[in-house]
Amino acid sequence: MSGIDGTGASIDPRGVLYPARLPTFHRVEAPAELSGLVRWFWIPEWRLAPGRTSRQELLPFPASNLVVGPDAVTLAGPTTSASHRDLTGSGWAVGMLLRPAALMTLIDDPGALRDVEVPFAAPSLHGDVVAAMADPDRDAARSGAVRACQAWCADRFPTVDADGLLANRLEEVVAGDRDIVRVEQLAARLGVGVRAVQRLAQRSVGLPPLTIIRRYRLQEAAQRLRDDADVTIAQVAADLGYADHAHLTSDFRRVLGLTPTGYRRDPDSRPDR
């Protein structure tokens, strides 16, 4: 696994616990006209020897994905603890990482999706993606699948309204500013009250705003522990707003089931060289 997506750009590894275990993975940024609805399209493909299993372990991620597989389309909600998928044989998936504005139009209560994946009726999307992925030219297959997803999104989603824009802004601020560690800070950045932020987060993501903040910070902690052998756990904790080393360790153990030291020691957590 090279850590490079289909466009030649580096893959954002924050949502993956052990990037070295990934199958072949391609990611395509959404075009400008869909950027308020989809962050990117992602396509893993795998072909494993008989009897082999590849376990994909994922960090909890405060967002939802629409996923097309060979047999069905599913809507996977935000996760609150580490999860995994075991890959066997050969296969593929085509996913869309949804922006909050898009999720708000697909389901009335995103909180109902928390830690679950449910069937989603989109027969035309499924048929077009499956047909595209059948192309023996893998580059052409992936390109065709992404085009099918883009066309479906253009037809399915309305223009992003003011509420959707604010929900997307919430996501952008939390994801992009590691200094945001409290809901009060987030509310101030958005120019609204704390209760308004709480309602917006539940309606557009399905999680409380503090949970969203902490999940992004935990992803960043894991990435820094993987990528920088010289940074101390105490420094990571301080940089990401944890009260101290012990609080980061507690969060790591509670959510991921292991300590920062144990994670750093595991060779599968290290980036490819």
pLDDT at 6 over 50: no
Assign 220 to helix, strand or coil.
Answer: helix
- What is the pLDDT, as a whole number, of residue 48? 83
Contact 103/110 with Cβ under 8 angstroms? Answer: yes
Contact 153/194 with Cβ under 8 angstroms? Answer: no
pLDDT at 210 over 70: yes
Provide mean pLDDT across the span 201-212: 95
- What is the pLDDT, as a whole number, of residue 15? 54
Banded model confidence at residue 208, pLDDT cuts 50, 70, 90: very high
Q: What angle do CA 102, 108, 113 make, to 5 degrees?
A: 80
User: Among all chains, which residue has been given the structure tokens 């939390």?
Assistant: 174
Distance between CA atoms of residues 132 and 27, nearest Å: 16
pLDDT at 38 over 80: yes
Check residues 268 and 130 and name the one with the higher pLDDT.
130
Assign 65 to helix, strand or coil.
Answer: strand
Q: Which two tokens stand for residue 234?
A: 């105490």
- What is the pLDDT, as a whole number, of residue 253? 85
**Cα distances (Å, whole numbers) of residue 178 to 33, 196, 244, 267:** 28, 21, 16, 27
Percent of the chain with pLDDT over 70: 89
- What is the pLDDT, as a whole number, of residue 4? 31
Provide mean pLDDT across the span 214-239: 88
Please, which residues have CB within 8 angstroms of residue 103's CB and are 6 or more apart in sequence? 64, 110, 204, 205, 206
Banded model confidence at residue 57, pLDDT cuts 50, 70, 90: confident
Banded model confidence at residue 126, pLDDT cuts 50, 70, 90: very high
Check residues 62 and 131 and name the one with the higher pLDDT.
131
What would the pLDDT profile of 131-150 be if each residue is shown by its tens digit? 999 999 999 999 999 999 99
What would the pLDDT profile of 162-183 be if each residue is shown by its tens digit? 999 999 999 999 998 988 989 9
- What is the pLDDT, as a whole number, of residue 44? 92
- What is the pLDDT, as a whole number, of residue 7? 33
**Segment (H or E) for 97:** strand 94-98
pLDDT at 52 over 50: yes
Contact 209/197 with Cβ under 8 angstroms? Answer: yes
- Dihedral angle of Cα 44, 45, 51, 57, to the nearest 10 degrees: -10
| Cα within 13 Å of Cα(2), Cβ side | 11
pLDDT at 19 over 70: no
**Cα distances (Å, whole numbers) of residue 29 to 11, 37, 72:** 11, 11, 23
CB atoms near residue 66 (< 10 Å): 25
